[in-house]
Amino acid sequence: MGLPTSPESLYGLLAEFEQPDDVLEAARKAYAAGYRQMNAYTPFSVEGLSQALGQKPTRLPWLVLLGGIVGGGAAYFMLYYACVISYPLNVGGRPLHSWPSFIPITFEMTVLGAAFAAFFGMLALNGLPHPNHPLFEVPAFSLASRNRFFLCIQVRDPLFQLEQTRRFLEGMTPRVHEVQP
């Protein structure tokens, strides 16, 4: 991929694999070699890949819990406020705070809040939308959504040394691409 360049003008080195197990193995080796600023790119979720790269489990479930609590709490507050404070309506002497009839709407809003948190939380934590990225400039990378598996070690990793890292990756696969920033 182009002329060899100095590390400063690169985003990283991208190694291409044909099998999910190969990229998993490569990720384990790279982690063992001390690399941390790296990521793998696969056409589907490969089990264990995230752990192999040393990524922490996502905090998304907590966000979703929060979204559900906020949605449900806001709904119940609205129902209470409307039926008891803002517009109290005496229907045959029944209690104003008739909580059983508040449950369906509270439930629906809980689900809505949690679903919004799951969807938008996933996008936000993933840094999406992010239409452009250095990786998209590598022609081979379009196969990351088809049948190829990639491991990218970034220049900003303290251990990154262009020649050494390239030799390390080439030890596992013949196809190593340079990624321009």
Residue number with CB closer to another protein (77 or 164): 77
Nearest CA among 69, 71, 33 for reference residue 53: 33
> How many other C-beta atoms lie within 10 A of the C-beta of residue 146?
7
* Spatial CB neighbours of 89, under 8 Å, sequence gap ≥ 6: 83, 96
Give the count of residues interacting with another protein (CB under 8 A): 62
Q: Which stretch binds another protein (CB under 8 A): 6-14, 35-43, 160-168, 171-179?
A: 35-43
Which letter, b or e, does each residue of 117-132 get, where b requires 16 or more Cβ atoms within 10 Å of its Cβ?
A: bbeebeeeeeeeeeee
Per the DSSP assignment, residues forming a β-bridge with 179 are 12
Residue number with CB closer to another protein (4 or 77): 77
What is d(CA 3, CA 178) in angstroms, rounded to the nearest whole number?
Answer: 9
Residue number with CB closer to another protein (3 or 174): 174
Phi and psi at residue 116, to the nearest 5°: -60, -45
User: Does residue 9 belong to the site contacting another protein (CB under 8 A)?
Assistant: no
Residues 85-104, one symbol each (x = binds another protein by CB under 8 A, - = not), give -xx---x------x--xx-x
Residues of the shown chain interacting with another protein in the complex, contacts defined by CB under 8 A = 18-20, 27, 39-46, 49-50, 53, 55, 57-58, 60-61, 64, 78-79, 82-83, 86-87, 91, 98, 101-102, 104-105, 107-109, 111-112, 114-116, 118-119, 121-123, 125-126, 128-133, 135-136, 142-147
